[in-house]
Structure 1
Amino acid sequence: MTTTALSPTRALPTSATRSLLACGILAGPLYVGTGLVQGLTRAGFDLTRHPASVLANGDLGWIQITNFVLTGLLTLAAAAGIRRVLPGRWGPRLLAGYGVSLLCAGVFRADPQDGFPLGTPAGPPSSVSWHGTLHFVCGGLGFAALVGACFAIGSHLTPARAWYSRISGVLFVAGFAGVASGSASPVAVLGFWAAVVIAWTWLATTSAHLMRRTVA
């Protein structure tokens, strides 16, 4: 796949473009950091058994809901910034789709499961609520958009960064496939946590790279 030279920023001043790209750097640490702090401190939550989505339940569920909304907005801002410095449109559009899916994840709460919050029966939910279904659907569409963004945005970067983007997308697919299969094994759950970190790291490093390439 050929790479395309970066185009200069167009509609926004460089300072505004850099601010938008900075949102792509901040989104990952906010999402992962907030999720890990909750995962290590909230009673009944186990990083080897539960995805971050179930943190939206319980008395402190508003923290994860806010986490989804804020990181969704930051991702949308990053997509706007990337659109200003890259010639292709599909990459930013797909990344924006992932941002919208994060907003939806905050609106449509995942169902309690496997002992979280405390008092929830062990194992998967006996029935899936309408909002739990929408959460899963929006998440699946958003993850597909994120993987597509890795490939589309990477096609406009240097060969090394293009391969890094593709590998990040493939690793995320592998991590998501483990939990999407219904497996609740610690390997699958931790693999998905790792995939999330990989994806956010890709967005942060790509945003930082593009910040350095904006016109001074």
Structure 2
Amino acid sequence: MSHMPQQTASPGTRDSLTARLLACGLVVGPLFVVVVLVQAVTREGFDLTYHPISLLSLGERGWIQIADFVVAGLLCVAFAVGVRRMLGRGRGGTWGPRLIALTGMGMIMAGVFTSDPGAGFPPGAPAGAPASMSWHGILHEVGFAVVSLSWLAACFVLLRRFAALKRRAWVAACVLAPVAVVVLVAWPDLDGLSVRLVVASAMQFEFLFALAADLLRSRQERESRGAYSLGR
């Protein structure tokens, strides 16, 4: 029996794929937030200071926000693969990427399973909270919980890595970002809660953006050192 030669990706191809996967971490936050804000000012009856962004998944143009959740989730999962490739078997290299991927899966879940109408949106919905939650409304909330908890856990897993590397700025970021997000979400005043949730989401995405930028910079430095060595 003849054996077919195995084809393996060249180092350059692998590095290029890793860069594209890491770039997903740069794209996901701006894309998600911009789509939300555009809808917030164009959807009739929607008030960002009162309505949670999950309600944008309902109504005639609800598919836009559903797609926003799902695409953002897929980008997070792709980014997690890039993080895994960069961190390898080092500290945080296993659970850090897994938790980032779980964050993306939670976003996909929150998109596929829509929330229940309420607070007068979409137009014609009950003015207050729904009398009872549907099965898909419950699963939507579960998806939101998965996003929140997995992102928080990822921050503290990465905290251990950056502490070992003595990168103080990142250590501070891994502590302060989760604290700020928890304070925004858990603040007892319900007025402005929807705005605080958007700000908290933006902060979560900003953390991923900064992580992606840092890893891309590290990758470029490795390439530069490798090219310098070959040149010598």
What TM-score does the superposition give when structure 2 sets the normalisation length?
A: 0.83
Name the residue aligned to 1:165: 174
Displacement, 1:176? 2.7
Instruction: Determine if the alignment matches structure 1 residue 120 to structure 2 residue 129.
Output: no
CA drift of 1:154 comes to: 3.4
- For 2:185 and 2:96, locate their aligned partners in 1 and report how far apart those are by CA, in whole Å: 20
| Separation of aligned partners in 2, 1:170 and 1:53 | 23
Between structure 1 and structure 2, the one with the greater Rg is 2
Contact 2:53/2:194 (<8 A) preserved: no
Partner of 1:3: none
> What's the TM-score once normalised by structure 1's chain length?
0.88
Q: Which residue of 2 aligns with 1:77?
A: 78
Provide the alpha-carbon RMSD of the alignment: 1.8
Q: 1:41-190 maps to which residues of 2 (within 5 A)?
A: 41-86=42-87, 87=90, 88-157=93-162, 158-178=167-187, 184-186=190-192, 188-190=193-195
**Superposed CA offset, 1:152-200 (max 9, x none):** 123323221121122112222222324xx7x6422x2222111111111
> 2 CA distance for matches of 1:122 and 1:113?
6
**Which deviates further from its counterpart, 116-125 or 154-163?**
154-163
* Structure-2 separation of matches of 1:95 and 1:110: 23
- TM-superposed CA distance for 1:83, in Å, is 1.0
Contact 1:25 1:208 (8 Å CA) reproduced: yes
| Separation of aligned partners in 2, 1:177 and 1:101 | 20
- Separation (CA, whole Å) in 2 of partners of 1:211 and 1:143: 25
1:205 aligns with 2:210: yes
Q: CA deviation at 1:121?
A: 1.7
1:22 paired residue number: 23
C-alpha displacement at 1:81, in angstroms?
0.8
**Any conservation in 2 of the 1:111–1:129 contact (CA below 8 Å)?**
yes
Q: Distance in 2 between matches of 1:209 and 1:51?
A: 32
Which runs of 5 or more residues in structure 2 are unaligned? 1-10, 224-232
Aligned partners of 1:147 and 1:170 also within 8 Å: no
In structure 1, stretches of 5+ residues that fail to align are 1-9
1:33 is aligned to 34
Q: What do the CA deviations read for 1:91-137 (whole angstroms, capped 9, x no partner)?
A: 11111111001111111101111011111121211211110011101
| 22 and 154 in structure 1: CA distance in 2 versus 1, 3 angstrom threshold | farther
Three-state SS of the structure 2 residue aligned to 1:155 is helix
Other structure's SS at 1:71 match: helix
Q: Which 4+ stretches in 1 moved above 6 angstroms?
A: none
